[in-house]
Amino acid sequence: MIINLEPEILQAVEKPARYTGHELNAVHKDWDGVTCHFALALPDVYEVGMSNLGLKILYEVLNSREDTACERVYAPWVDMEAAMRERDIPLFSLESFHAIKDFDFLGFSLQYEMIYSNILNMLDLAGIHIWSRDRGEDEPFVVGGGPCVYNTEPIADFFDFFIVGEGEELIGEVAALFSQWQGAGRPDGRRGFLKRVACLDGIYVPSFYQVTYNEQGLFASIEPTEPEARPVIYKRLIKDMDAVPFVEKPVLPYIDIVHDRIMLELFRGCTRGCRFCQAGTSYRPIRERSRKRLRELARRLVDSTGYNEMSLTSLSSADYSCLGELVDDLFADFKDEKVSFSLPSLRIDSFSIDLAHKMQQVRKSGLTFAPEAGTQRLRDVINKGVTEENLMGAVEAAFRQGWKQVKLYFMMGLPTETDEDVVGIARLAEKVAQKYKEVTGKWGVTVTISVSCFVPKPHTPFQWYGQVSREEFERRQRLLRSSIKERAVKFNYHEASVSVLEGAIARGDRRISQVIYQAWQDGAKFDGWTDHFKNDVWLAAFEKCGIDLTLYNQRTRERGEKLPWEHTTPGVSKEFLLREYKKALAGELTEDCRRGKCSACGVCPSLEAKIVDWRREHV
Amino acid sequence: MYKYRAEITKGEEIRYISHLDYAGVMERAIRRAKLPAAYSEGFNPHIKMAFASALSLGVISDAEYMDFELTKSLCQPEVFEKLSRALPEGVKLLRLKPVREPKPCKGKKHKALMAEVEEAEYELLLPMTEGAAWDSAVAAVKAYNEAKEAFVHRVTPKTDKLIETKQYMLQPVKLSMAGALLKLHMDIAITQTGSVKPGEVLELLAGEYGLPGDTGRVLIRRTAMKGQGRPLIDLV
């Protein structure tokens, strides 16, 4: 079925170009000329979905296959959804405008927990059964991948299978397997395919497992029920970043999107070892692209897009071992084309400031640093290897270079946090403001502190830790507000209600899927958008399902407790995480294994992986 | 600097992008074409380019005009070829001419593109209201054409004002049938002090003069943009 949108719909909705496709570099294949039809979705609006680097990579990888057509779909905004529901228009793709239900796969990028309700909404709009067990032979396989696969349980019952880890090799294997199965006349039907795909490294088929709970109502075990299902699914990982395909011809939107620029991925992984950080454990180890390869990719990307902005993307881009040289190369290569470069995150040191100064030339748009905690004691707890001296040195360099705006990121509710740590955030921000006066001899600086509420995440050293309650978060927010005496300091904070809900879902088990379903039925969607987040709907959904959310967010887990996410793993061992948790409580630091001592996290041996660092001999 | 004027289209595929987005599309196309573009000064350099007149979201066009500057004088076929190949679906390069600046002894530079536009022509297609009589459509258009004054209420987040539309109508609105659709032709003046949009005139025709058409489903196409009675590309 091909969807044709009437002008009266498009004229009436906000930003109709979200739904009309035809972008440059979009791939249009003959529908009947391929065996595998793969729809890639991100359950948020076009501008967010189009900014996701992972999907751009997978789109090119899939479309490079002769047997596969890969198309895009994003969540229609509420106005478009209403128009579609009113006229019975099903969810459609942006290339061929086929109904999503006509595809063989619908793959969702799972970026964060608060977007789960949108997945259900998109399935419903597509006319696909919400629960995987209800899906018939003619419905697409619903696939999930991305950062949230390290605890898939809260959404396990909505998905046919998950891709755990880096997908650019695995997704091609899935497509090839599908073509083979299709060519063989779909032996054993839907279940037959799932049994075959479960044999690929990195694939998790949740319906092939049985979950049990103990007498206290806690998760007790998850056991395979099919011979093809493995007890533990390790993430897939790219060993050689230079050899693997990268984006070369990204789809170029006509309208402004969130990241409307080239994203050049320098490397994967970050082993600085911040104990709160899930990305830090899930993308290990560090694997850099070579300077030569990056230079080639940059050239191709500028040529294929015409963008004149490029972001040097990574978890901690300033850690790229040859960054100074790479920036020099890029400046030389693109001098005449007026391409500007940016780093999405800065390290707190003067090297970063000098680099930022060089990259921004004269425009001083504001600098962002993430000290994460207000006192040295707490920064040691989280293993943020940054001192007040580092920060003062960095801002001093920045103020000398002419910056007048500094943004500082902090988290509230970290393990062991006291009121002194909270007040410490205000004191640190004030010292930064005073540093400006000291350096320039005048006032006129703006120091913005942005404070989020800490959500403990699976596969991190804090995965056992009981999250702070909403009331307590709010008390600490008030305490911080009243502690700020300096007018130059601006205070931004996040709604605690969203974070405590995220805390429950992030460490949830399969029973949470009922809550997500209930909340969606009662109108939850776009929960990541402040204007659309309906806290009371969510709280009522927990109540209706008879599930106590404090059991999931506020409860500190026993060390020996079975955790519902351990069977899809990035490869870090539980012993390592436990060791780090203990060191955290003792305020002890752990070195970055990239150059320093190996902290025996377990990733390299369990995945046969190696650190790739061009400054250091490869280990 | 070497200036060129392009006659380009805005097609169905990009009907729903704004004027600003359209300008961005063209800027990126010039860069992909590897033309030696001239950039503005400042911290955030942009290609030196200008458009004749903004086109509303939802309106397509056979006749958009864009001036842009290069740092080298390239021959017309080379620029035409390179730019054509770099354009996305939805934009076609129809004609391209170098802008010849007047001899220095004659003083002034060539007029800015925006200052040259004097009129734009539009074609509007919309379904006739079910069961309505053709005669009532004819009568509505006739009444509007004969009116001395006809005001439309323009409300935007920034403005709320009454605009007299007839002063901008260079020719009477023409009505014809195209299959089952009503087809209107409008020739509208664009002046330094203002203009009116074809959609606004349609709103007036349907709302106040009883044109029996489904305005929610109208498709509007700009068919020409002129100065001194000639297409803007012929003024250079």
- DSSP run (H or E) holding A480: helix A470-483
Count of all residues that appear for chain B in the document: 236
Name the residue among A529, A533, A554, A451 with its Cα closest to residue A494: A451
**With 70 as the cut, is the pLDDT of residue A361 above it?**
no
Q: Which pLDDT score, from 0 to 100, does residue A101 have?
A: 98
**With 80 as the cut, is the pLDDT of residue B102 above it?**
no
Q: How near does any CA of chain B get to the CA of A402, in Å?
A: 15
Q: How many CA atoms lie within 13 A of B53 on its CB side?
A: 27
Which residue of chain A comes nearest to B125, CA vs CA?
A7
Which residue of chain B comes nearest to A5, CA vs CA?
B217
Q: Which pLDDT score, from 0 to 100, does residue A8 have?
A: 87
In this complex, do A11 and B86 lie within 8 Å of one another by their Cβ atoms? no
Closest CB to A6 among B15, B90, B217: B217
- DSSP run (H or E) holding A294: helix A291-305
Give dist(CA A344, CA A341) in Å, integer. 10
In this complex, do A7 and B219 lie within 8 Å of one another by their Cβ atoms? yes
Closest CB to B88 among A24, A255, A361: A24
Give dist(CA B220, CA B213) in Å, integer. 14
Region A208-226 average pLDDT: 96
In this complex, do A306 and B30 lie within 8 Å of one another by their Cβ atoms? yes
Per-residue DSSP letter, A216: T
Q: A523 lies in a domain?
A: no
Which residue type, as a one-letter code, is found at position A532? Answer: H
Q: A180 lies in a domain?
A: yes
Q: How many CA atoms lie within 13 A of A128 on its CB side?
A: 30
Count of all residues that appear for chain A in the document: 619
CA distances, A540 to each of A325, A500, A548 (Å): 55, 15, 11
Q: Which pLDDT score, from 0 to 100, does residue B74 have?
A: 94
Q: Which pLDDT score, from 0 to 100, does residue A480 have?
A: 98
Report the first-to-last Cα separation within chain B, whole angstroms.
16
Q: How near does any CA of chain B get to the CA of A508, in Å?
A: 42
Three-class DSSP labels, A55-82:
HHHHHHHHHCCCCEEEEEEECCCHHHHH
Q: A406 lies in a domain?
A: no
Q: Which pLDDT score, from 0 to 100, does residue A619 have?
A: 45
B12, B26, B31, B85, best to mutate vs chain A, most A CBs in 10 Å: B31
Q: Which pLDDT score, from 0 to 100, does residue A407 have?
A: 93
Q: What b/e sequence results for B56-70 when a residue is b if at least 16 CB atoms lie within 10 Å of its CB, and e otherwise?
A: ebbbbbbbbbbbbbb
**With 80 as the cut, is the pLDDT of residue A206 above it?**
yes
State both tokens at A337.
Answer: 């084309």
Three-class DSSP category at A84: helix
Residues A422-462: pLDDT tens digits? 999 999 999 999 999 999 999 889 999 999 999 999 999 99
Residues A380-389: pLDDT tens digits? 999 998 999 9
**With 70 as the cut, is the pLDDT of residue B174 above it?**
yes
Q: Which pLDDT score, from 0 to 100, does residue B106 have?
A: 62
Give dist(CA A247, CA A224) in Å, integer. 37
B85 at the A interface (CB within 8 A)?
no
Q: Which pLDDT score, from 0 to 100, does residue A309 have?
A: 92
Structural domain of A51: 7-231
Report the first-to-last Cα separation within chain A, whole angstroms.
53
In this complex, do B217 and A8 lie within 8 Å of one another by their Cβ atoms? yes
pTM: 0.95
Q: How many CA atoms lie within 13 A of B191 on its CB side?
A: 11
Q: A90 lies in a domain?
A: yes
Q: Which pLDDT score, from 0 to 100, does residue B197 have?
A: 95
Q: What dihedral angle (degrees, nearest 10) is formed by the CA atoms of A162, A164, A170, A175?
A: 10
**With 90 as the cut, is the pLDDT of residue A157 above it?**
yes
Q: A341 lies in a domain?
A: no
Q: Which pLDDT score, from 0 to 100, does residue A192 have?
A: 98
Residues A160-194: pLDDT tens digits? 999 999 999 999 999 999 999 999 999 999 999 99
Percent of chain A with pLDDT over 70: 99
The answer for residues whose C-beta is within 8 angstroms of residue A609's C-beta and 6 or more apart is A237, A239, A284, A285, A287, A571, A603
In this complex, do B18 and A362 lie within 8 Å of one another by their Cβ atoms? no
In this complex, do B32 and A304 lie within 8 Å of one another by their Cβ atoms? yes
Give dist(CA A68, CA A336) in Å, integer. 39
Q: What is the number of other CB atoms lying within 10 angstroms of the CB of residue B84?
A: 17
Q: Which pLDDT score, from 0 to 100, does residue A595 have?
A: 86
Are residues B174 and B185 in contact, defined by beta-carbon separation less than 8 angstroms?
yes
Q: Which pLDDT score, from 0 to 100, does residue A402 have?
A: 87
**With 60 as the cut, is the pLDDT of residue A362 above it?**
no
Q: A60 lies in a domain?
A: yes
Are residues A415 and A585 in contact, defined by beta-carbon separation less than 8 angstroms?
yes
CATH number at residue A74: 3.40.50.280
**With 80 as the cut, is the pLDDT of residue A227 above it?**
yes
Q: Which pLDDT score, from 0 to 100, does residue B104 have?
A: 61
DSSP string, A383-435: T----HHHHHHHHHHHHHTT--EEEEEEEES-TT--HHHHHHHHHHHHHHHHH
In this complex, do A16 and B57 lie within 8 Å of one another by their Cβ atoms? yes
B89 at the A interface (CB within 8 A)?
yes
Are residues A37 and A175 in contact, defined by beta-carbon separation less than 8 angstroms?
no
Q: What is the number of other CB atoms lying within 10 angstroms of the CB of residue A448?
A: 17
Q: A161 lies in a domain?
A: yes
Three-class DSSP category at A556: coil
The average confidence (pLDDT) of chain A is 95
Q: A134 lies in a domain?
A: yes
In this complex, do B25 and A8 lie within 8 Å of one another by their Cβ atoms? no
Give dist(CA B27, CA A180) in Å, integer. 45
Q: Which residue has the higher pLDDT, A460 or A362?
A: A460
Region B39-54 average pLDDT: 89
**With 90 as the cut, is the pLDDT of residue B122 above it?**
yes
Q: What b/e sequence results for A131-158 when a residue is b if at least 16 CB atoms lie within 10 Å of its CB, and e otherwise?
A: ebeebeeebbbbbbbbbbbbbbbbbbbb
Are residues A581 and A573 in contact, defined by beta-carbon separation less than 8 angstroms?
no
Q: Which pLDDT score, from 0 to 100, does residue A363 have?
A: 56
In this complex, do A255 and B90 lie within 8 Å of one another by their Cβ atoms? no
Question: CA A53, A57, A62, A64 torsion: positive or negative?
Answer: positive
**With 50 as the cut, is the pLDDT of residue A523 above it?**
yes
Percent of chain B with pLDDT over 70: 97
B228 at the A interface (CB within 8 A)?
no
Region A495-519 average pLDDT: 97
Region A501-515 average pLDDT: 97
Q: How near does any CA of chain B get to the CA of A13, in Å?
A: 10
In this complex, do A10 and B58 lie within 8 Å of one another by their Cβ atoms? yes
Interface predicted TM-score of the whole assembly (ipTM), two decimals:
0.90
Q: Could you tell me whether strands B230-231 and B219-227 are parallel, antiparallel, or unpaired per DSSP bridges?
A: antiparallel
B27 at the A interface (CB within 8 A)?
yes
Q: How many helices (H) and strands (E) does chain B have?
A: 5, 11
Give dist(CA A466, CA A476) in Å, integer. 16
- For chain A, list residues whose CB is within 8 angstroms of any CB belonging to chain B: 6-8, 10-12, 15-17, 20-24, 252, 254-256, 302-308, 336-338, 361-363
State both tokens at A493.
Answer: 């904070």
In this complex, do A17 and B21 lie within 8 Å of one another by their Cβ atoms? yes
**With 90 as the cut, is the pLDDT of residue A499 above it?**
yes
In this complex, do A305 and B32 lie within 8 Å of one another by their Cβ atoms? yes
Region B187-198 average pLDDT: 94
Give dist(CA B23, CA B18) in Å, integer. 9
Region A528-552 average pLDDT: 96
Q: Which residue bears the tokens 């995150």?
A: A345
B56 at the A interface (CB within 8 A)?
no
Give dist(CA B62, CA B64) in Å, integer. 7
Count of domains forming chain A = 1
Q: Which residue bears the tokens 């839907």?
A: A190
Which residue type, as a one-letter code, is found at position A363? Answer: R
A15, A338, A403, best to mutate vs chain B, most B CBs in 10 Å: A338
CA distances, A26 to each of A20, A77, B12, B204 (Å): 12, 21, 16, 40
Residues A339-360: pLDDT tens digits? 999 888 788 887 888 888 888 7
Region B43-67 average pLDDT: 93
Which residue type, as a one-letter code, is found at position B144? Answer: Y
B31 at the A interface (CB within 8 A)?
yes
Region A405-412 average pLDDT: 95
Percent of chain A with pLDDT over 90: 90
Q: What are phi and psi of B83, to 5 degrees?
A: -70, -40
Residues of chain A in contact with residue B217, where contact means CB-CB under 8 angstroms, are 6-8
B181 at the A interface (CB within 8 A)?
no
Q: Which pLDDT score, from 0 to 100, does residue B100 have?
A: 84
Q: Which pLDDT score, from 0 to 100, does residue A352 have?
A: 82
